[in-house]
A and B are shown apart, each in its own frame.
Chain A
Amino acid sequence: MATVINDTQHVEVQARIADDRWLMEPNAFEALTGWTLKPEGMCREDVCAPIYRKEAVLSPDGMVDLVEAAQVIGMTAVADIARRVAALGASAAARAESMTTLQAPAFTLPDMAGKPVSLHDFDRRKVLLLAWSSW
């Protein structure tokens, strides 16, 4: 098993490490990202992103390269192959686009007692996010 850290959680996934690549079965990649490998590319709902660099994105036996495939679907992935931990997040372009809409991104984070708190819990109120830290 291996761990992928996405924007909301740590997900245990099946990954095959071969030739310094983090390879996943297409259905495992789909479970992780919501994107399905089809003949026309990586698809979600009615959108398909073509795969221009097939050799980079897919292994000869049809496995999906996480780091390469992330770019196809507008995301960024960093993989620590040896330690079997990867992180998957938005691409810079996707983040920039989301910021341009000025729509406040939804989030759910634990409070001090471990209870999840969502931005949506405060719908129809003005909210001040106060970012702070101990450092």
Chain B
Amino acid sequence: MQEELAGHGLTIIAVAIDSDLEAVKEWAAHAPELTIVIDRDFTVAEQYGIVNVPATVWIDETGRIVRPADTAMADDRFREFAHVDSSVHHGQLRAWVNDGVLDLDEAAVADLMERPSPELQQARLHRRIAVALHDRGDVDGAREHLATAAELAPHDWVIRRGSLPMNDVDPFGAQFLDLVGVCLEAGSPGYRLATGREYPGDPKPA
């Protein structure tokens, strides 16, 4: 995608919302063509209202957000699980980059930005402290702050999923699946825009 659209003026910045530098390096090795940066304190996630991954935000040539954070899959590897058709986002992206076509006006984009609650902002700060303590080797201290963050923002995917590795929990194991259930039940499906979202039971394209 980067290769195809770079000539048409698109730069992709892959922001790893991740505190584990080694894990990021391992994944990054698979995409040497991309500009990859690491957001250990989740500050960019906070500034752009990114509440789950993978997600994309579109920024135009004048530095304005023209499409808010939304789930976007690179391919259909996780389609059975996430029920997202990656081609929908890809089609919209090509239309924007090649022809300047946007399907949301400014008011719609502003409305869809994920504004935080005071509790979520506090949870994010507790998480920053947890990362710093974990770096110092204070694992118990880190877990205390992660626990407080989870209490403050029980349905925020980035806070909850993003804390599994520091709690020594398999990020794709049983606790992750429990968490998915809790978030979905609470009406926090990850993003409001839900581009390409299929709902289980929808007819699958042939």
Contact = CB atoms under 8 A, between A and B. Distances in A.
B122 A78 contact: yes
Chain B: number of interface residues, binned into ranges: 35 or more
Contacts of A10: 132
B15 A92 contact: no
Contact of B65 (A76, A103, A122, A133): A103
Contacts of A123: 61, 63
Interface string A100-111: 101111010111
B56 A117 contact: no
Contact of B121 (A85, A92, A135): A92
B55 interface: yes
Interface residues of A, number: 48
Contact of A95 (B93, B115, B165): B115
A128 B13 contact: yes
Contact of A104 (B34, B39, B63, B93): B63
Nearest to B54: A132
Contacts of B121: 76, 89-92, 95
B45 A131 contact: yes
Given A90-B121, A100-B110, A102-B65, A5 B47 contact: no
Contacts, number: 205
A112 B11 contact: no
B9 to A, nearest CB: 5
Main secondary structure of the interface of B (DSSP, over half): mixed
B139 interface: no
A88 interface: yes
Interface string B118-131: 10111011101100
A88 B132 CA distance: 13
A83 B56 contact: no
B57 A129 contact: yes
A47 to B, nearest CB: 21
B53 to A, nearest CB: 5
Nearest to A9: B41
B135 to A, nearest CB: 10
A8 B43 contact: yes
Interface of B: 9-18, 20, 23-28, 34-39, 41, 43-50, 53-61, 63-66, 69, 72, 93, 96-97, 106, 109-110, 113-118, 120-122, 124-126, 128-129, 132-133, 138, 141, 145, 161-162, 164-165, 171
Counting from the closest, the 7 A-B pairs by CB-CB distance are: A135-B171, A134-B23, A87-B125, A109-B37, A105-B47, A99-B113, A96-B115
Interface of A: 3, 5, 7-8, 10, 76-78, 80, 83, 85-92, 95-96, 98-100, 102-105, 107, 109-112, 117, 119, 122-135
